[in-house]
Amino acid sequence: MIITILYYVLIGFIAGLILWNLFKTRKWQDELLYVIILMPFILRLLRLK
């Protein structure tokens, strides 16, 4: 259970980092890439996958 909670904290942290990078970048290719890689992290946080 502790490992699971830590895992979700880690997932939330990485999702936050991806969002931060998305807002900071100026290249549209990177923006699209960040949105794509964000999706599985959000689906995990919501316990859908």
Partner 1 sequence: MRVNVRSLRKAGFLLLGAALMLLAGLSFYNSRHLKEPVVLGPSVTEVKKLSDYFEGLEGTINDANVYVLEGQEPGGSVLILGGTHPEEPAGRLATWILAENAVLEQGRLFLILSANRSGTTVTRLGGAYPPDYSIETPWGERTFRMGDRWSNPLDQWPDPEVYIHYPSRQELAYMDIRNLNRTWPGRANGTLTEKTCFAIIQMIKEEKIDIAIDLHEAELQYPVISVIVAHEKGQDLAAMTSMMISGMGGFDLGMENSPHALRGLSHREIGDHTDAISLLLEAPEPMLDATRGRTDRKLLLEGKDEFVVKAGEHGLLFEKIDENGWPIDVRVGRHCSAILQILELWTEDHPERGVVVTSVPRYAEVIENGTGAYLHDHRKVSPARLRFE
Q: Give the interface with partner 1 as residue ranges (CB under 8 A).
A: 3-4, 7, 22-23, 26, 28, 31-32, 35-36, 38-39, 42-43, 46-49
Q: Residue 17 or 32: which CB sits closer to partner 1?
A: 32
Structure tokens at 13: 């942290």
Q: How far is Cα 44 from Cα 41, in angstroms, rounded to an integer?
A: 5
In the complex, minimum distance from the CB of residue 43 to partner 1, in angstroms, rounded to a whole number: 6
In the complex, minimum distance from the CB of residue 39 to partner 1, in angstroms, rounded to a whole number: 5
The dihedral formed by the CA atoms of 33, 39, 40 and 43, expressed in degrees to the nearest 10: 170
